[in-house]
Amino acid sequence: MADKRADAVVLLSGGVDSSTCLAIASQNHRCRALTVRYGQRNWRELESARLVAEGMRVAVHRVVDIPLGWIGGSALLDAGGHGTAIPVSPDGVSPSVPPADAYVPARNAIFLAMGAAWAEALGTPHLFIGVNRVDYSGYPDCRPAFVAAMEQALRLGTRSGDLEIHAPLMELTKGQIIRQGSDLGLDYSITFSCYDPRGDRACGLCDSCIHRKKGFAEAGVPDPTDYES
């Protein structure tokens, strides 16, 4: 039987949020997953994105190389970090606003533009991104106002003019996100969130690891992550 669901492009990093977003989108859409290899120090997330895409049986999974290391200004970039250490929190408490070097300049703007281009080529208005403002750690490109502005800009800048950016996690806490993904059958053991992986293990101290730990505890779901600390 032919799949009559509408096509959608989903931005997939391989972490908790984007993987849950894909699980949600897959309920009513035939998904194309887009992963960007942009020079991130978190190389392990690329393997997780592949595993999640396979597990969710997406129609197409594309990994696109868009090196951003030349921009600099972030410890999360291999080339741009210039050996800068990933900010960690030994007390296990995430700061309300992250250090400047834990932010990749305009990353979501770049990714949304790429996703919108692919969506238009596919003839679909549906583009999904797994940002949320509750546990977003103060990043400016995770705010509702940013997503709304990007949607308007991309409508104006594309021939179809009907793009819809779906952000189904926007109002959810990390715990609510994990609970919803678990209910949808998402295997979180294949996801990876750490900014500074130690081989196949997560560091356990970076901002992303702290939010991940907190989310599993809040959701009441066993955390399958192998943390070094």
* Per-residue model confidence as pLDDT tens digits over 185-206: 999 999 999 988 888 899 998 8
Q: What's the confidence (pLDDT) of residue 104?
A: 82
The answer to which of 26-30, 47-51, 92-96, 125-129 has the lowest mean pLDDT is 92-96
Q: How confident is the model at residue 1 (pLDDT cuts 50, 70, 90)?
A: low
**Cα 52 to Cα 20: distance, rounded to the nearest angstrom:** 10
Quick one: three-class SS letters along 212-226?
A: HHHHHHHHCCCCCCC
The maximal CA–CA distance of the chain, rounded, in angstroms, is 54
Span 97-115, mean pLDDT? 80
* Per-residue model confidence as pLDDT tens digits over 129-153: 999 987 656 688 999 999 999 999 9
- Around Cβ 75, how many Cβ atoms within 10 Å? 22
**Cα 228 to Cα 112: distance, rounded to the nearest angstrom:** 33
**C-alpha 77, offset from chain centre:** 16
Question: What architecture does CATH give domain 6-219?
Answer: 3-Layer(aba) Sandwich (3.40)
* Per-residue model confidence as pLDDT tens digits over 46-55: 999 999 999 9
Asked whether the predicted pLDDT for residue 164 surpasses 50, the reply is yes
Contact 80, 69 (CB under 8 A): yes
Ranges of each domain in the chain: 6-219
Span 168-187, mean pLDDT? 96
